[in-house]
Chains A and B, each alone.
Chain A
Amino acid sequence: MSIVHTESLTKVYGDVSQPIPAVRDVNLTVEEGEFLAIMGPSGSGKSTLLYMLGGLDKPTSGKVWLRDSELSALNDDALSRMRRTEFGFVFQFFNLIPVLTAQENVAIPLILDGVPRARALKQADDALARVGLADRTMHRPTELSGGQQQRVALARALVTTPAVILADEPTGNLDSRSSDDVVQMLRRAVDEWKQTLVLVTHDSRVAAFADRIIFLKDGKIVDDNRLKGRGNADQIREQLSKMVLS
């Protein structure tokens, strides 16, 4: 069943005299329980597309649906509520609020939603335990490694059991070991906790964990592959480089 759906999604930056099209006419459907990777060269519009899917950025034209809600029809408050209840985000940088503990960082979407603090913190503890950080709940972000920080961010995305988790290069800043940890955790989120996941990456080893990969070039979807079983990173890389050259 489809959970996210776009129709002629387009984003143009700049002004009329110098338009910079970032995403062009994208029609995309994300199935419930799916692990979708978005790949493409730098500047191809991956982040822009992801942000529009999550209601972080407004399309220039076209529409995004989450189930039955069309995002551009929502006002800022409704969109904010959508972000804290229906979407979970993991980004490359600045995921965590430095003055909050890991536990509070995870609990923040719940607290912003008005969940009593004690209950929110309890749920945050559970989510942190799921990503293997049960013993780090009271640490501040600066006291955690890069990989641990990204796992806290993942816990924050999981804590609300959102409709979709959106991750923009979550491993882009990590060494390969931490990167593996985070990707495996993402895979578990889909397999064990039945989450839907859309992941932006330019790393084929990361993309190899996905169920489906779409390739973006100059803001357009140029390929859409469903992987059978575990993807082959080399194969994906080859496909990517072919695309860049073409």
Chain B
Amino acid sequence: MTAQSSNFGSTVWQMTLMGLRYLNGRRLRTALTTVAIVFGVAMIFAINLALPSMQEAFQQTITSFTGADLSVTSVSGESFPPAAVLEQISSVDQVKAVTGILHRQFSLPTLGESSLGDTTQIDLVGVDPASMENVHQFVISDGRFLEPGDSGKAVLPAGIAELAPQLGVGTTFPLITAGGLKFYTVVGLLAEQGDLAAPEIYVSLADAQAAFNQPGLINTVEVLLEPGANREAAAADIQQAVGAGFTLDQGSNDSNTLAAMQVGFAMFDVLGMLALFLGAFLIFNTFRTVVVERRHDLGMLRAVGATRRQITLLIVIESLIQGLIGTAIGLLIGYLMAQGMISVINVYATDFFHRGSLSLQFSLSGLLGAAAIGLATALIAGYWPARAAGKTAPLEALRPATPANIQRAARWSLIVGIGIMLLAVLLLLTGNQGAAGGAVLFLMGMVVTAPALVIPVARLISPLLSFGFAREGDIARSNLVRQPGRAAITASTLMIGLATLVMIAAMVLSFASLINSLADVNFSSDLILLPQSIAVYDNVIGADENLANRVRALPEVQDVGTMRYASAATADGQALQVMGIDPNEYSKVASFTVNEGSPDAAFAALGSGRNALFTAIALSTVGLKVGDDFMLQTAEGPQTYHVAGIANDLFTFKIAAIFISQTNLAADFHKTEDIMLMINLAPDADKQAALVDIQTILTDYPQFTAHLTGEYRDELANVTSGALILMYGLAFLILIPAALGLLNTLTINVLERTREIGVVRAVGGSRTQVRRVVTAEALLLGIFGAAMGVLAGVAMSYGFIAAFGTVGWEMPYFFPVAGIIAAVIVGVLLALFAAVLPARNAARLDIIRALQYE
């Protein structure tokens, strides 16, 4: 008989069968080991699914609704006077017709019966009927299209009937505008279905300009080319004609919001990776156990002719099977998690962003990526024990286990590990972005050093045990140090879990402090009027000056400060949100946190010239520093602004935003809409009465809601603490694999010592004593892991918080005392919990059979 390498498949198939049966015989352990893979893959897949769906939703480009050949918008996304641009574009060869429109997509407050039914957001499009008809002919199914001179008239897509069946030609409906609630009469229905996520409602240009408080302005030019025109060439010519302040066929996008969300999602990704890291440890540990347990089988396979490679293959296949199972379940759970995330975000989307509903989009690359990471983890973690298994001597099947020899802790692990940790500390102390790297490096250093620490640490902490455990503590210690490598891995697994806990505790403290100091500056007024969404303002309809004036006129009101908004871009196209405030009024009702100087100086700077205050994120994304001058693409073309300082508040600290004066906002961006109002009352005014008065005014401006500032702040704090509890939940999930690691190691330790335990029992050791030895062992591991976890957790939290601080946030580092105490308690409890089963098994060993066990 000769080796037929051609029939490799036969061997692989047999090994797969064997692997499946081994796993099946150890279902509980298989399930437990697989959990970490499931968890990690699920997290990563969920993020990979949810993020692109969100991206899609937030980057909807506003395409040409009118079916024109080209559309032109300003780079800033803001409105502009039509005359010059229309003139420039018409004069281009091959351009047949142009028309200017003003449109905005925005969400609707619920107005009851008379509103637009189930429609949650609309795209209000103001058109000039005369020139529009040159560019696009609408097909009307009922009534007529708009005609020159129409006012208060609207044309809707036929599909609106699905959302608001009561609307038909001749009916009227109310719509929020910057000037208050306005009624429109439906004069026609378009034959097309329309985009039901945000139906287009056509009104006259003048009506739209009134609704947005932008008289005389448009924000899009629609272009019809000559028949047979070369689109590329024409586009180039148009671009040339209008200059760099305009862009063709490109809608705005909410890259700022998206960036803010990405920060949050990155956190999930990190947790997913940590879980997989733990999963790898767990698989590694489990398969080391498996190799010891199965040494008879493996030895026998070697004796009957299996090569080393074949044995390695057997174990690798087995870990791959686990990887496959874990990955498959993980993908499934990840999909459900993504769906959950999307629906949670949808809840927020209606409450805060008014984006309408997102739908989950399946992503093959996301699936393949997550699957590959899961499988690779299993493969890599299984490979080393598999290689060790390959080295099993054939004789191991035949000889009783030789007593495990005490492996001397490798000295180099100490040297290398400490080296890595020193480097990590250096990185941490730099306090910049490298600090996050230092945090991870520190964790790795701990993992490397762990084997060398087992013996000294065990010696150090075993006296602690002498209180409850007397002699058993010493036995436990000597049991543990027999396999320092195994003890080290177990403790390292626990360390990662507990370090995550400590880190999250510290981050929560830091963030809470940051949020709190930011909230202080935003919520110092008595009352606050909020738009449909905070954080995203380009789909909001604010109010013209009438609202502020009416509020100001109330007898109990003392000061009113407002916030205005425009979008802009830097010279190289980086989007910026521009917040407009009146420094005199705003400083009476709210403030900023400033990194240098005082808020007063910051307000003073906004009082003159083209000065801008940057949020920390904005400054780092555009790569400027305080004192620089820079070019801003405004609705009035490029303008030079001066970076006057860094200022953050709760609404903007996560996004790339700048603050300028309302004077400049009106001049450069044509925006005078108030999107948020903060109100201070006279010292003796009744807050509730004032609130009622303001709510009466707001019946004309249903896009706003009035809140007592303090109450709103508390409400927000509740939402935030909900999110923080979720973070703690994740930390606890990560502890599951750590507990499994402990369980594994204790089980294998008991198995390996079966005969020894038999001897102890035979010479008179009691069940209780045997149980206590195992429990003491677990405690040693638990305390060791907790100590390392606390150390690594402090380093990691310090590093990550320092890294966050480099974006310019004032994130104080709080030593996470509560987190540390929690980590130690959790570590010890986990250890005790993991010891229950192995301890009981050890105590219940039948003496005779234990003595015969080989």
Contact = CB atoms under 8 A, between A and B. Distances in A.
Q: Are both chains from one complex?
A: yes
Interface of A: 47, 51, 56-57, 76-77, 80-85, 89, 91-100, 104, 108-117, 120, 156, 160, 168
A195 to B, nearest CB: 15
Contacts of A97: 18, 297, 300-301
Interface in B15-50: 17-18, 21-22, 25
Main secondary structure of the interface of B (DSSP, over half): helix
Nearest to A118: B10
B854 interface: yes
A89 B11 contact: no
A76 B391 CA distance: 10
A183 B305 CA distance: 24
Contacts of A51: 395, 398
Contacts of A160: 1
Interface stretch (B306-314, B507-515, B605-613, B713-721): B306-314
Nearest to B398: A91
Given A56-B394, A113-B3, A99 B22 contact: yes
Nearest to B10: A117
A115 B304 CA distance: 15
Interface string B647-687: 00000000000000000000000000000000000000000
B5 interface: yes
Interface string B524-563: 0000000000000000000000000000000000000000
Given A91-B398, A160-B1, A111 B11 contact: yes
A241 to B, nearest CB: 27
B397 interface: yes
B54 interface: no
Interface string B296-324: 11011111111111100000000000000
Contacts of B65: none
B304 A156 contact: yes
A83 B305 CA distance: 5
Nearest to B396: A94
B8 interface: yes
Given A81-B3, A94-B300, A168-B398, A117 B14 contact: yes
Given A97-B300, A99-B21, A99-B22, A116 B397 contact: no
Nearest to A48: B395
B6 interface: yes
A94 B296 contact: yes
A134 B829 CA distance: 55
B465 to A, nearest CB: 36
Contact of A83 (B3, B11, B18, B394): B394
A114 B22 CA distance: 22
B4 interface: yes
B304 A56 contact: no
B22 to A, nearest CB: 6
B13 interface: yes
Contacts of A168: 398
Given A56-B395, A91-B397, A113-B4, A83 B10 contact: no
Interface of B: 1-8, 10-11, 13-14, 17-18, 21-22, 25, 296-297, 299-310, 394-395, 397-398, 854
Nearest to A111: B14
13 contacts: A57-B395, A76-B308, A80-B302, A80-B305, A82-B305, A83-B303, A85-B1, A92-B398, A104-B17, A112-B304, A112-B307, A114-B4, A116-B7
Given A91-B397, A113-B3, A116-B10, A84 B304 contact: yes
Contacts, number: 106
A89 B398 CA distance: 11
Nearest to B308: A76
Contacts of B25: 99
Contacts of B854: 93
Nearest to A168: B398
A120 B299 CA distance: 21
Given A85-B2, A109-B305, A116-B10, 11 more contacts: A51-B395, A51-B398, A56-B394, A84-B305, A92-B398, A93-B398, A94-B297, A112-B11, A113-B1, A113-B2, A114-B5
A156 B306 CA distance: 14
B794 to A, nearest CB: 46
Contacts of A117: 10, 13-14
A112 B309 CA distance: 11
Contacts of B8: 114
A92 B296 CA distance: 12
Given A97-B297, A113-B3, A81 B305 contact: yes
Contacts of A47: 398
Contact of B3 (A56, A100, A114): A114
A158 B398 CA distance: 20
Contacts of B13: 117
A112 B305 contact: yes
B239 to A, nearest CB: 68
B18 A100 contact: yes
Contacts of A77: 307-309
Contact of B304 (A57, A92, A98, A108): A108
A85 B10 contact: no
A110 B1 CA distance: 9
A109 B304 contact: yes
A51 B10 CA distance: 29
B297 A80 contact: no
Given A81-B305, A114-B3, A114-B4, A104 B10 contact: no
A122 to B, nearest CB: 13
B307 A76 contact: yes
Contacts of B395: 51, 56-57
Contacts of B17: 104
B426 to A, nearest CB: 45
A80 B307 contact: yes
A206 to B, nearest CB: 18
A222 to B, nearest CB: 24
A99 B18 contact: yes
Nearest to B13: A117
B306 A114 contact: no
B301 A112 contact: yes
A115 B303 contact: no
A156 B300 CA distance: 12
Contacts of B397: 91, 94
Given A99-B18, A117-B13, A117-B14, A89 B3 contact: no
A135 B308 CA distance: 34
Nearest to A51: B395
B356 to A, nearest CB: 56
A109 B301 CA distance: 8
A113 B10 CA distance: 9
Of the candidates B5, B296, B303, B394, the one having the most CB atoms from chain A within 10 angstroms of its own CB is B303
A225 B18 CA distance: 45
Contacts of A156: 304
Contacts of B308: 76-77, 80
A89 B304 contact: yes
Nearest to B400: A93
Contacts of A91: 303, 397-398
A115 B13 CA distance: 12
A115 B297 CA distance: 21
A107 to B, nearest CB: 8
The 10 closest A-B pairs by CB, nearest first: A84-B305, A114-B4, A99-B21, A114-B7, A83-B305, A94-B296, A80-B307, A117-B10, A56-B394, A111-B14
Nearest to A160: B1
B297 A114 contact: no
Nearest to B391: A76
B300 A95 contact: yes
A76 B308 CA distance: 8
